[in-house]
Amino acid sequence: MNRLIAVLSKSRKLKSFIRMASSFKEGLCRVELHCHLDGCCRPETIWNIAKRRGMMDALPGNTLEEFLTELRVSGSGTLAKFLHSFEIYMPVLKGDRVGIKEIATELCQDKMNDGAVYFEATYCPHFLSDDNLTTEEVVQLVNEGFKEGEKKFGVKARSILCMIRDKPEWCREMVELCDKYRSEGVVGIGIAGDESVALEIDFYQGVKEAIERNICRTIHAGESGPASNVQEAIEVFKAQRVGHGYHCVEDDNVYELVKKTGVHLEVCPTSSNVLGNVSPDWTKHPAIRFAKDNVNFSLNTDDTLHFNNSLQTEEDIAMKYFGMSKEDIITARVYAAEATFLPEGEKRELVEHVKKFSVSV
């Protein structure tokens, strides 16, 4: 009998190992850490939601193509148009239960089609809530959408709830929601928004509490703002990751801090160039220095709805302009996997998966 129990025990362990080893979809090998849920919607989905809700008058253009023209940004220094485009379509999504879950599920399919095996999407639930839909219900809907997408498309999806620099009154709630739903798909907290807006005490208190509750942190810093914002993200907010971080190269002490601490930089090549946050000359992009100095960074899309980009296009840019080899691209993918906010066991499994399937670029 004891021998039978031992055999059964080994069998269970083997089955458990097999399940764990196959929990990431075979063949997919990219990891994305920096994309915004409400900036990666499908334009046709927004269009269809507007039709369903009788809100077509809120959208510019008479056709989907004309509407899309208003959302796409190109060239360099088009930050004003980029920010305005959110004002155009967010009212259509706001408060729509079906639509919010739909964009979350569709994002899983889109990332799968882009070769991603895992991604973390950032959003602020306040921007999707209204008088009839609470911020907590928004989080629940996104979690449900990601779970459905993961089941359908085999892409593991997690979310990061974001505090907004000019909305200090939302900070406390973001921490509470992150803590409450950490086992339901929310893996971290962030700060985003206009870097010219000085942070109020609420943000420092909020992040302090997040640290005490062991909630992972990624801070948008050094995108359009100075290197000192990157320093604050690392030293004050104890960020494990920094969103963008390009301007850290403008201060030797801050750049040394980035290298010394190994903080992960979420680089978004197309976004940084189009929005004028770096030189329009690709040969002067800070990521060239990151690659040369073996800085810990990954390649990300930011907002595919607006930039019409993909993880593939970002890797192509890195190879064409940043001097990155195929091996460097694989390294960046591994860095991304290592910087995820997954539990340690899942993270190690993901890293091994990415290494195994990143045989071609």
Residues with a known catalytic role: 223
Strands (DSSP E) contained in 25-115 are: 30-36
Contact 114, 30 (CB under 8 A): yes
Contact 243, 192 (CB under 8 A): yes
Rg (CA), the chain: 21
Strands (DSSP E) contained in the chain are: 30-36, 116-123, 156-164, 186-192, 216-221, 241-244, 264-267, 297-299
Nearest to 176 by CA among 136, 138, 216, 144: 136
State residue 296 phi and psi, 5-degree precision.
-75, 100
Tell the residue number behind the tokens 């010394």, with chain if given.
Answer: 260
- DSSP conformation letters of 192-238: ES-TTSPPPHHHHHHHHHHHHTT-EEEEEESSSS-HHHHHHHHHTS-
Contact 185, 211 (CB under 8 A): no
Neighbouring-strand partners of residue 119? 32, 157
Nearest to 77 by CA among 264, 231, 271: 271
Nearest to 166 by CA among 196, 139, 131: 196
- DSSP conformation letters of 109-129: HHHHHTTEEEEEEEE-GGGG-
Instruction: Please give the distance of CA 286 from its chain centroid, rounded to a whole number.
Output: 20
Write the single-letter amino acid at 163: M
